[in-house]
A = this chain, B = another copy of it.
């Protein structure tokens, strides 16, 4: 039985709690959070605290708080020489306090409280300073996911960068599209099957092989028409930049 304490209770640790609680090989013995947690809706008993001096003993301590708060928070922990990990794609392992053994437990997925995630399919990127801790994280990760990968802080940085393109930027393009639809009194929902299929297509085709559209076929007539239709200057700039990039893409 692996004993886990969750430190912070944002989207990541909320989803981790649900996934870890489903494994009979893990005990989430405590959740620390700055503000009081509403545990009424949980189907399991939760021991929670708002006091850092009351942190229980555990095998792994998982910090799930905002990136820029992790470093300082880890310094304020009263525990010593324990395995303390953060869950962030964007910061290195080294920002954690040296008072404890450090590691990373990064589930590569976008989380919100309102959507359940099939954790088995979420790749978990693990990192630790020594072999034993790495194996402990591998064990813990494998209880909830089928995809556990050892990733260095340097590699994780690049994965996080690549994730910004496929998650944050892609989502922004969805919002541009929604703007265009709303502005013309059209229902954004009719684009959703296309949105889903564009993503699902990658199961079979590489993005380069899947590329289609006016830019891909050098259809300058349509490109001109689209630039003329776009009223928002920001959307126009984005259209131009991405069209140029696709035009230059080599097969």
Contacts and interface: CB of A to CB of B under 8 A. Distances in A.
A34 interface: no
Contacts of A242: 168-169, 172, 238
Interface stretch (A41-49, A78-86, A198-206): A198-206
Number of copies: 2
A149 B190 contact: yes
A22 interface: no
Interface residues of A, number: 89
A199 B198 contact: yes
A72 interface: no
B162 A197 contact: no
Interface string A201-241: 11111111011111111010110011001100010011101
A167 interface: yes
Contacts of A184: 155, 158
A213 B238 CA distance: 18
B241 A197 contact: no
A179 to B, nearest CB: 9
A68 B121 CA distance: 43
A67 interface: yes
A114 interface: yes
B226 A234 contact: no
A180 B198 contact: no
Contacts of A196: 199-200
Nearest to A176: B165
A100 to B, nearest CB: 24
Top 3 closest pairs, chain A to chain B, by CB = A168-B213, A175-B207, A174-B207
